[in-house]
Amino acid sequence: MKNLKLVAVVGVIAAVVVLSVVGFTATQNQLVRREVVTVTERVTVTQSPAVPVTVTTPVVVTVTVTPTPTPTPTPRPTPTPTPTPTPSPTPTPTVTIGPTSITGGGATFVNPQMQLWIRRFMEVTGGRTSVNYQSIGSGAGEAKWLEGALDFGVSDIGISKAGYQKLVDGRRRFIQIPIIAGSVAVIYNIPEFARAGCELRLSGELVADIYLGKIIKWNDPRIAELQDSKCRTYLPDKEIYGVHRSDGSGTTALFTMYLTLISKEWAEKISYGYTVTWPRDQMGLGEGARGNEGVSAKVLNTPHSIGYVEAAYAIQQKIPVAFVRNREGRFVKPDATTVSEALKRAAVDLPGPQEFWGDLPLKYYMNREGENTYPIVGTPVAFMYLDAPRELRLALYEFFRWVLTEGQKAENIVEGFIPIPEALRVKALQYLEALIST
């Protein structure tokens, strides 16, 4: 009798379970499975202790059978996603080396050439890295670079002794590289000479004495004896007006280095530097002008004047340029041949990129041997930090590598400037690699 009761109870429970399953299966299979577990647990609790545990097996079997046919579950409504606008096709990004722009400044000497390089570089590279160069003079360029206001500086002679000492004291890492060959031309404005078709000849000693105030007039016998015999009488009895740079200038440093090398009196009294004292000014026979541009304009507009500028300015402005006596006693003008002759002889002596270059022209470039060498030469020097952010170093590397390769080709050289000799160019490229290897 007890067994019959148990069967009846189990049957009722199974029926309830089946009804529950049927009721929920059509709508949510997840709920069917949860109900099965719950009912099975209730069966286990309801059983009499005397009933074997296996009695629950029919319940489990009955509950887990999915009713036939299985209705296709109604798909759960999928929320309509917020429409995402289809982006316009994006061009493949250009890999940019370094930041979007780099800024340098310094020598006015190299400004015409630098501006052409920048324009051509940005045309070739699509302007992915823009370059700006400020023609503010070598001294100002070095100072601003040391302050961190410029990404690179350019000087006609390399970093000055004072600037170099600051770098050493601050343990800054940097490089210097030559970027173009250049020369300082001695310019003049002697209307009488020009009308006679004559060209002026000078020696370094005479130029030093003019600026020292020891030679006053153009028809001084020491000047006259150097001229072609047919031109001597055209030297006017006029005071020489000496024009020089008023700002801190690498061109002045190059010019005064040459005078220091040639004239013992100049070396003892004046020496060389970005700025120096000009004895002729104290006599009222001279004045300063800002930049190569200013000196060029002043000489052009001042009859019987003399001055000094980067040779390219003289050529572009069509200012008469003096022949200067070289080490072999020959009178030569600055041009591609005479300047390259001097520099290629010095390439083997070029110091390392982190050494002191402030007297480089004085020791290695100027007044070199050779009949066809021009004596007042230099190479504008670019300097940049090796401990700058990597993006900046990569941008500098890209620009200056172009300058030392494509930039040295004839179509990328301003009239009056001269590509650096191959031996110097190869060394400069080697030095430049430090920007990307650190």
Q: Would you place residue 345 in the very low, low, confident or very high pLDDT band (cuts 50, 70, 90)?
A: confident
Q: How far is the CA of 198 from the CAs of 339, 348, 400, in angstroms?
A: 23, 39, 42
Q: Would you place residue 63 in the very low, low, confident or very high pLDDT band (cuts 50, 70, 90)?
A: very low
User: Residue 235 is which amino acid?
Assistant: L
- 3-state DSSP assignment of residue 201: strand
Angstrom distance (rounded) from CA 339 to CA 368: 10
Spatial strand order in the sheet of 130-135: 130-135, 101-106, 152-155, 381-385, 174-178
Question: Taking 90 as the threshold, does the pLDDT of residue 62 lie above it?
Answer: no
Using an 8 Å Cβ cutoff, are 386 and 438 in contact? Answer: yes
Angstrom distance (rounded) from CA 349 to CA 363: 9
Angstrom distance (rounded) from CA 159 to CA 387: 17
pLDDT for residue 334: 94
Q: Which residues contact 230 (CB under 8 A, 6 or more apart)?
A: 198
- 3-state DSSP assignment of residue 286: strand
Q: Is the overall model pTM greater than 0.75, yes or no?
A: no
Residue predicted with more confidence, 52 or 412: 412
Q: For residue range 101-153, list pLDDT tens digits in order.
A: 999 999 988 898 999 999 999 999 998 899 999 999 888 999 999 999 999 99
Q: What is the mean pLDDT of residues 318-341?
A: 94
Burial classification of residue 281, based on how many CB atoms lie within 10 Å of its CB (0-12 exposed, 13-18 middle, 19 or more buried): middle
Q: Would you place residue 10 in the very low, low, confident or very high pLDDT band (cuts 50, 70, 90)?
A: very low
Which of 12-26, 189-203, 306-320, 402-416 shows the lowest mean pLDDT across its residues? 12-26
pLDDT for residue 347: 73
Average pLDDT, the chain: 81
Residue predicted with more confidence, 48 or 299: 299
Angstrom distance (rounded) from CA 38 to CA 20: 11
Task: Give the rounded percent of residues in the chain with a pLDDT score beyond 70.
Answer: 77
Output the six-digit token pair for 207: 């130029």
User: Residue 403 is which amino acid?
Assistant: V
